[in-house]
């Protein structure tokens, strides 16, 4: 019988566990025998997961102090987390200058600042024990920004920069840091994207249609969970690009050896915003 991840990670904390990639991560960990504390903004959204090894946690990243209090209470109940996955987040689609800056500021606070605060709270006990893993779910948008989703791009690029910093800082401690960068997955993420701009320009309409088509045709979220599982078994810090071959392998390869100007032209064509 194959070994389960529970031999390495007894307990896990997963934000945004009710849908999409977060749900897939939680399902994978539960199947691997890990005890999971999973979060959502409303407890009823977690009802399908509740069982012997799953504990629901109500957590809203808009409220940093409340989120930290919920995390610490869960950590005490778990007697420490071996694995923390910061996955929760959302999209906002609009021209940068067409909506109040508060729209972008809130997204950056939720997805970058408050997510970093959770990482800040999670790491000291792991460092003290000399083991554990922090997984911050970034995005390939950190390398290939999505048009009209500027704060999302900034937040994901910032998370990747945080991950790179932590990999250097924590190298001697035994704590693993994974920078997971998913591409487009079939999760209905596009259905939850906020669209605060009252009217779309023709370029925005084309970009939105391309975005919807890419998301709806992507791999299922179990594919990302399998990528994460493999990375966790390796027990090494690093970057995990995951998604369809053209996004996770081919595009980074071309970007590495091509020019920035070429990368921008290809992205403009990809989203039909030339």
Residue 47 backbone class (left: φ over 0; alpha: ψ -120 to 50; beta: rest) = alpha
d(CA 35, CA 12) in angstroms, rounded, equals 6
Count H helices, E strands: the chain?
11, 7
The CA R_g of the chain, rounded to the nearest whole Å, is: 18
Structure token pair of residue 272: 């039909």
Catalytic site residue from 9, 152, 185, 270: 152
Residue from 134, 227, 221, 225 nearest 176 by CA: 134
Instruction: Give catalytic status of residue 152 as yes or no.
Output: yes
Tokens (6 digits) for 194: 């906020």
Taking the CA atoms of 18, 48, 42 and 78 in sequence, report the sign of the dihedral they define.
negative
Residue indicated by tokens 């009217």 = 199
- Residues acting as catalytic residues: 152
């Amino acid at each position: 019988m194959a070994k389960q991840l529970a031999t390495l990670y007894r307990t896990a904390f997963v934000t945004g566990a009710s849908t999409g990639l977060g749900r897939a991560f939680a399902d994978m960990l539960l199947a691997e025998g890990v005890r999971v504390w999973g979060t959502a903004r409303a407890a009823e959204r977690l009802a399908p997961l509740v069982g012997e090894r799953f504990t629901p946690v109500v957590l809203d990243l808009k409220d940093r102090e409340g989120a930290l209090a919920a995390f610490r209470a869960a950590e005490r109940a778990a007697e420490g987390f071996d694995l923390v996955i910061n996955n929760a987040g959302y999209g906002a689609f609009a021209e940068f200058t067409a909506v109040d800056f508060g729209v972008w500021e809130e997204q950056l606070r939720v997805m970058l600042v408050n997510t970093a605060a959770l990482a800040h709270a999670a790491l000291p006990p792991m460092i003290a024990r000399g083991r554990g893993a922090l997984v911050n779910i970034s995005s390939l948008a950190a390398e290939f920004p999505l048009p009209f989703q500027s704060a999302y791009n900034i937040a994901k690029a910032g998370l990747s920069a945080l991950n790179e910093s932590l990999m250097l800082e924590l190298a001697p401690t035994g704590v693993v840091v994974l920078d997971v960068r998913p591409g487009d997955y079939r999760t209905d993420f596009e259905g939850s994207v906020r669209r605060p701009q009252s009217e779309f320009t023709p370029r925005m309409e084309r970009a939105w249609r391309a975005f919807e088509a890419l998301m709806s045709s992507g791999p299922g979220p179990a594919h990302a969970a399998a990528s994460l599982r493999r990375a966790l078994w390796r027990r090494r810090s690093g970057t995990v690009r995951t998604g369809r071959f053209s996004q996770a392998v081919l595009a980074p390869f071309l970007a590495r050896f091509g020019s920035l100007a070429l990368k921008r032209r290809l992205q403009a064509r990809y989203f039909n915003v030339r």
